Chains A and B, each alone.
Chain A
Amino acid sequence: MLKQIEGSRAMAETIGLCRPEVICAYPITPQTHIVEGLGEMVRTGEIAKCEFINVESEFAALSVAIGASAAGARAYTATASQGLLFMAEAVYNASGLGLPIVMTLGNRAIGAPINIWNDHSDAMAMCDSGWMQLFAETNQEAADLHIQAFRLAEELSMPVMVCVDGFILTHAVEQVDIPEQADVDAYLPPYEPVQVLDPQAPISIGAMVGPDAFTEVRYLQHYKQTLALRLIPEFAAEFKKQFGRDSGGLLRTYRAEDAELIVVAMGSVNGTIKDTIDAMRADGLSVGLVTLVSFRPFPIAALRETLVRARNVVVIEKSLAVGMGGPLANNVDLALRNVAGAPQVHSVIAGLGGRPITSASLHRVLRRAFVQPWEGSHFLDLNEEIVAKELHYVRKVRRSGPTAENLLRRLSQAAERAAE
């Protein structure tokens, strides 16, 4: 049913339709509305046969999900940023144990400095943990991906993170088609565990594994994600058949078939990029877009296929691997490794800590990519003035004080000067 609805609420209603059995979460901006919505629905009975548990930390949240999932229940939790890090040990534990937990990640920057706004640093921090990671472009996709996530997780016995841009999607009100229960039931059968704690058939789960078998356990996790490369498109196709729309999959392209320059990006920024591309195409520039939905597993072959004929690839990402550059760009490089005549890959770091990525800035950086490609990572809309001032200051003064506070002070001073 079509509704004009807040993204978080749409996700909550859709997750409810997936018949979760144990929901446990700890509040953190910007995921709060999702969990609150679910809590209400459990209270009213709209979600039946479900235990909603208020836990005392994110570490407890995922731990409760681990216990519930191992005991055969469909388990769900949600977090962001600091919360994801606080549960980091449990993140690796869940994937190492092979438990099909689904978790919403309301993508948010990681501090210090503390920042509640959107970027992808949280997802990047846990991208090698063995969880699958799917990125939603719109709130429709955010809702839909949860249904596919449960299916995918339970099929492979591997947990899935559904990544949804904090605030930009979670707190936006837009049109979403909330599926019908019958359709969800047809698509998502009841959870049939691969392993389960059952007094009638006791097993031990979680034993120590030594050097003689650890590699094989990890290999099989890695192998499962290669299976996911096939299952994700399959389940997306099934989704289209059942629900009547395209959602999910490994990636999708926009005007990229003949493009000289292809942009690669994840999440909500793709919408703004599409508008920018249309304007640039109207100006005669050959530019296209690849929207990456599945970040883990990373679709090397599919990505290579879409990028190989371009001259330039510009990766725009809301993440920074300090000391290295753009992690998404680095992953994209992988798709083009050892390919003769491969396009040049350019890294753009944008939107960190919630800085808006504007169409105007995208125009500038993409046009620049056509004529003056750059080395290393380009930080979009970097305030070079306050950066230069800080660099100059710390060279002069040993006790220069906390960087963040210095920059904020200079920003407000600059604003005051501008106002005069």
Chain B
Amino acid sequence: MFQVRIHGRGGQGVVTAAEVLSVAAYLEGKHAQAFPSFGSERMGAPVVSFCRIDDKEIRLREPILEPDALIVQDPTLFKAIDVCQGLKPTGYLLVNSNRSLAELHLDAIAGQLPKGHVLTVPASELALKHVGRPLPNAALLGAFAHLTGIVQLKSVAAAISEAFSEKIARANIAAATAAYDAVANAPAAA
């Protein structure tokens, strides 16, 4: 089972990200379970969502306490909560930022995880460029696909098509693809 935990703030599409990821996995014939950690709906409040992916039926219903991968849509959260709590030693960390790992003070964590498992990607900027709004979730999923290989980009694209109307889907797919390519073409991480 591969467990993904997504952190962000209300209004950034954290819940949708988990759902779209689950649909992508489903389209590849896998079992997937996506759910938010539920709190009162409020823009700007920290939000966490979860996605489990497995080849067999997923019976577990607890929150993801030991994620295989973390997607962080808003790096300001690192100061607010223990984002990386429970991240497995072989885990992945994908952060939405146009700054470097060092600037984000994530060097230490990157050092503890396998090489190439920790990445930043300027998802908000890519979203602004392709979608016109700084909603980073689609771009992050594109980057995630390349980073972990758990789902393919075309599945992410298909899932995005199901979730949004045609015009918006196309724009989000473009953002996802751009992020995917950015990760693919990045120089080998430290």
Chain A residues proximal to chain B, CB less than 8 Å: 4, 6, 30, 116-117, 167-168, 171-175, 268-272, 274-275, 354, 356-360
Contacts and interface: CB of A to CB of B under 8 A. Distances in A.
A173 B33 contact: yes
Contacts of A174: 22, 31-34, 58
A406 B32 CA distance: 40
Contacts of B18: 173
Interface stretch (B61-69, B97-105, B122-130, B144-152): B61-69
A356 B64 CA distance: 10
Interface in B1-43: 18-19, 22-23, 26-27, 31-36, 38, 40
A168 B61 contact: yes
B31 A175 contact: yes
Interface of B: 18-19, 22-23, 26-27, 31-36, 38, 40, 58-63, 65
A358 B23 contact: no
Given A4-B26, A174-B22, A175-B26, A268 B38 contact: no
A357 B60 CA distance: 10
9 contacts: A6-B19, A116-B38, A168-B61, A172-B33, A172-B34, A174-B22, A174-B33, A358-B63, A359-B62
Nearest to A276: B60
A269 B61 contact: yes
Main secondary structure of the interface of A (DSSP, over half): mixed
Nearest to B41: A29
Contacts of A30: 38
Contacts of A271: 58-61
Contacts of A274: 59
Contacts of B65: 358, 360
Given A271-B60, A272-B62, A358-B63, 18 more contacts: A167-B36, A167-B38, A168-B35, A172-B33, A172-B34, A173-B18, A174-B34, A174-B58, A175-B26, A175-B31, A268-B61, A269-B61, A271-B61, A275-B59, A275-B60, A357-B61, A357-B62, A359-B60
A14 B54 CA distance: 26
A359 B38 CA distance: 20
A271 B52 CA distance: 14
Contact of A354 (B27, B33, B38): B38
A39 to B, nearest CB: 19
A84 to B, nearest CB: 19
B62 A356 contact: yes
A117 B38 CA distance: 8
Contacts of A268: 61
Contact of A171 (B27, B35, B40): B35
Nearest to B26: A4
A174 B38 CA distance: 17
Contact of B22 (A168, A173, A269, A354): A173
Nearest to B19: A173
B61 to A, nearest CB: 5
Contact of A272 (B23, B26, B38, B59): B59
B62 A358 contact: yes
A167 B35 contact: yes
Contacts of A354: 38
A53 B65 CA distance: 42
Nearest to B21: A173
Contacts of A356: 62-63
Contacts of B40: 116
A173 B36 CA distance: 10
A354 B63 CA distance: 11
B169 to A, nearest CB: 16
A360 B36 CA distance: 21
A175 B32 CA distance: 7
A292 B137 CA distance: 39
